[in-house]
Amino acid sequence: MAPRLIEKPHAIIAQIPCLSDNYGWLIHDRENGTTAAIDTPDADAINQVLEAQGWDLTLILNTHWHMDHTGGNLALKDKWGCTIIGPAAEGEKLPGLDRPVQEADQIALGAISAVVIETPGHTLGHCVYYFADCAAAFVGDSLFSLGCGRVFEGTHEQMWHSLLRLRALPDETEIYCAHEYSLGNGRFALSIDPDNRTLQKRMADIEALRADDLPTIPTKLAIEKAANPFLRADDGILQKTLSMKGQSAETVFAHIRQSKDRF
């Protein structure tokens, strides 16, 4: 897969395949040229795109401390002198952190800005950067297409509430997650929710894209709300399919997440 550019009214987003299944992301403000990297899975791959586009890296926005999200921080800072922003709760674990942020903090690029949404669960400090002007949410390892991140540090209850925060964004929001996991996620989702038409359709699209070695990301929130079982733990229809009707969303979510861990 080669890097590709996604054009937005005020910005250009670059999607950069990295490592085995990560995506690095750049968002470049057309007005003043500010460029931010969301996570740094591979400094060399990110540098190649920056150089090809003639962009200078201004900011790094880390979603969480895992190495496949921060491994390129120091090399990129060394080369570009960029400012590294990341969750205050993971301060000591983020290489080169300059500006710790928390819930509702704003990050201005040029004409566009991001707001920080705290989404603990995968890690305790995990956060999402939501660019309302571009209808784009950079969600790291919280939400994936047809899946969600593993619950490593937080509780299932925390993760469910983090996903509810993302589910409350506008339907047209594009979800820029950090991994190409859609095919495996879809196989699991169909195993527990085989009659879901939106899921069947999304999975057919994913299979066609992957057969052509094309990315399935970004995905649209509206599709995920209908097709992703991890966003539907409180949905009566899915609960009925799982024989869990009337149980709490937290319990249903934990059941789905643990089933996926064993799948």
- Site residues (vs Fe ion, CB under 5 A): 68, 141
Question: Toward Fe ion, which CB reaches closer, 141 or 193?
Answer: 141
Residues 6+ apart with CB under 8 A from 11: 27, 28, 29, 30, 109, 111, 112, 131, 133, 134
Task: Give me the 41-70 binding string for Zn ion, x by CB under 5 A, dash otherwise.
Answer: -------------------------x----
What part of residues 134-163 is at the interface with Zn ion (CB under 5 A)?
Answer: 141
| Shortest Å, Cβ 18 to Fe ion | 10
- Per the DSSP assignment, residues forming a β-bridge with 100 are 86
Cβ nearer to Zn ion, comparing 141 with 174: 141
- Closest approach of Cβ 215 to Fe ion, in Å? 16
* Cβ pair 37, 24 in contact under 8 A: yes
Residue 30 in tokens: 């057309």
The mark string for 16-35 relative to Zn ion (x by CB under 5 A, - otherwise) is: --------------------
Q: How many other CB atoms sit within 10 Å of the CB of residue 251?
A: 15
* Residue 65 Cβ vs Zn ion, minimum distance, rounded to whole Å: 8
**Nearer of residues 8 and 24 to Zn ion, judged by Cβ:** 24
255: buried, middle or exposed (CB in 10 Å: 19+, 13-18, 0-12)?
A: middle
Buried b (16+ CB within 10 A) or exposed e, 207-239: eebeeeeeebbbbbbebbbbbbbbbbbbbeebb
Instruction: State which residue, 152 or 187, has the beta carbon closest to Fe ion.
Output: 152
* Best CA proximity match to 146, nearest among 191, 100, 83: 191
Pick from Zn ion, Fe ion, none: which does 77 bind, CB < 5 to 8 A by kind? none
- Rounded to a whole number of angstroms, the minimum distance from the CB of residue 218 to Zn ion is 18
Nearest CB to Fe ion, comparing residues 68 and 224: 68
Q: Would you give the DSSP letter of residue 178?
A: S
Return the structure tokens found at 169: 């964004």
Residue whose CB is less far from Fe ion, 42 or 68: 68
List residues bridging with 106 in a β-sheet: 115
Compute the least distance from the CB of residue 213 to Zn ion, in Å.
Answer: 24
Contacted entry of Fe ion, Zn ion, none for residue 193, CB cut-off 5 to 8 Å set by kind: none
Contacts with Zn ion, residue ranges (CB under 5 A)? 66, 141
